[in-house]
Amino acid sequence: MQTTSFQQALSLARAGAKPDVAWLVPLLACADADAPELYRTADTVRAAAIGDGVYLRGLIEFSNICRKDCAYCGLRRDNRGAERYRLTPDQIVECTREAESLGYGTVVLQSGEDPWFTAERMADIIRRIKAETKVAITLSIGERPEADYRLWREAGADRYLLRIETTDPAIFAAIHPDDDLEERKQCLYTLKKLGYQLGSGVMAGLPGQTPEILSRDVIWLHELGAEMIGVGPFIPHPATPLKAAKGGTVEQTLRLVAVLRLVFPHAHIPATTAMGSLDPKGREKALMAGANIVMPNVTPTTVRPQYEIYPGKICTGDDARHCRGCIGHRIEAIGRTVASGPGHVVRKK
């Protein structure tokens, strides 16, 4: 097979070539010496397509109770050491008001797969938020039946984040004892059909993952038509079956962020908390390699440390106002601006 060089691959990316393993792999697996050029190119593509504004999404981690047992996650049901909590609907609405008062145009409601939040309870919360605030609502609460997704959309939810985590059938099966890859894909197709602004993504550095596998993930996300793509390094949690795994790195994730920006010039790509947790400048590095979103935490500090999906998570002791100030300074320090408004996805006509 003919191999594509880094420079040839970058030229294809710049020319907007259809994503293909043949040129994605040389970028995802590029040498350290080539990485700065990859990041600069992605940064230029980002600036030309969507400008310098960074949208802030206020993250509300409203329950760490989960019926699932994903092998990588500290919230998995078999982690008996996790101290569980669930915010009340009133508390969730209150957090949303606080997020709005801090200037956030969007809240992300995220949780474990907690059955207490029935379709109707969740719909009530969405309706209350929509009646009492002007924020856009992103849901990130896992796999549900189509009827639930439909009810929440009708109640006013704007966006949904559901990472595919990996499209490799063997890896997906090994880390998801409760899930089926085809069913997860079906959830994403359903969310798209219902008109949600659609977010998905993967973890970088899962056991067994290769640049070829990651490139197939990128191609699949492209076929799906994902409009928001969240990627972060996998960080092994000591109370999970993957505690001894190597985990992902900042450098590997930066290459992936940059490649995603080249393939999706207009998408919303967050500089994830996991990046900031592995490296104090991880989020800034991601913003300079193609990312345009940050998700500061607005969860009450009383429960924040308990949403421990991986160890060493940042911001667990800092209140919402502190994080708002911190992230604003970080964005300005790299010459970018905080964008205002809901920051809906950009859809081509």
**Footprint on this chain of ligand SF4 (rule: CB under 6 A):** 66, 68, 70, 73, 75-76, 112-113, 142
Task: Give the CA count within 13 Å in the CB-facing half-sphere of 39.
Answer: 19
Position 274 contacts ligand SAM (CB under 6 A)? yes
Please count the residues of this chain forming the interface with ligand SAM, following the rule CB under 6 A: 20
As a three-state string, the secondary structure of the chain is CCCCCHHHHHHHHHCCCCCCHHHHHHHHCCCCCCHHHHHHHHHHHHHHHHCCEEEEEEEEEEECCCCCCCCCCCCCCCCCCCCCCECCHHHHHHHHHHHHHCCCCEEEEEECCCCCCCHHHHHHHHHHHHHHCCCEEEEECCCCCHHHHHHHHHHCCCEEECCCECCCHHHHHHHCCCCCHHHHHHHHHHHHHCCCEEEEEEEECCCCCCHHHHHHHHHHHHHHCCCEEEEEECCCCCCCCCCCCCCCCHHHHHHHHHHHHHHCCCCECECCHHHHHHCCCHHHHHHCCCCCEECCECCCCCCHHHCCCCCCCCCCCCCHHHHHHHHHHHHHHCCCEECCCCCCCCCCC
Residue 233 CB, nearest distance to ligand SAM (Å)? 6
Q: Which is nearer to ligand SF4, 184 or 268 (CB)?
A: 184
> Could you tell which of ligand SAM, ligand FES, ligand SF4, none binds residue 296, using a CB distance below 5 to 8 A set by kind?
ligand FES
- Candidates 159, 175, 249, 260; CA nearest to 218 is 260
Q: Which is nearer to ligand SAM, 132 or 180 (CB)?
A: 180
Binding mask 10-49 for ligand SAM (x = CB under 6 A): ----------------------------------------
Cross-strand pairs, 158: none
Please count the residues of this chain forming the interface with ligand FES, following the rule CB under 6 A: 7
Q: Which of 4, 41, 63, 110 binds ligand SAM (CB under 6 A)?
A: 110
Binding mask 270-309 for ligand FES (x = CB under 6 A): --------------------------x-------------
Q: Which is nearer to ligand SF4, 303 or 327 (CB)?
A: 303
> Could you tell which of ligand SAM, ligand SF4, ligand FES, none binds residue 27, using a CB distance below 5 to 8 A set by kind?
none
Position 142 contacts ligand SAM (CB under 6 A)? yes
Residue 4 CB, nearest distance to ligand SAM (Å)? 30
Q: Which of 34, 69, 98, 165 binds ligand SAM (CB under 6 A)?
A: 165
Give the footprint of ligand FES on residues 304-343 (CB under 6 A). Answer: 315, 318, 322-323, 326-327
Interface residues with ligand FES (CB under 6 A) are 296, 315, 318, 322-323, 326-327
Interface residues with ligand SAM (CB under 6 A) are 72-73, 75, 110, 112-113, 140-142, 162-163, 165, 203, 232, 234-235, 237, 274, 309-310
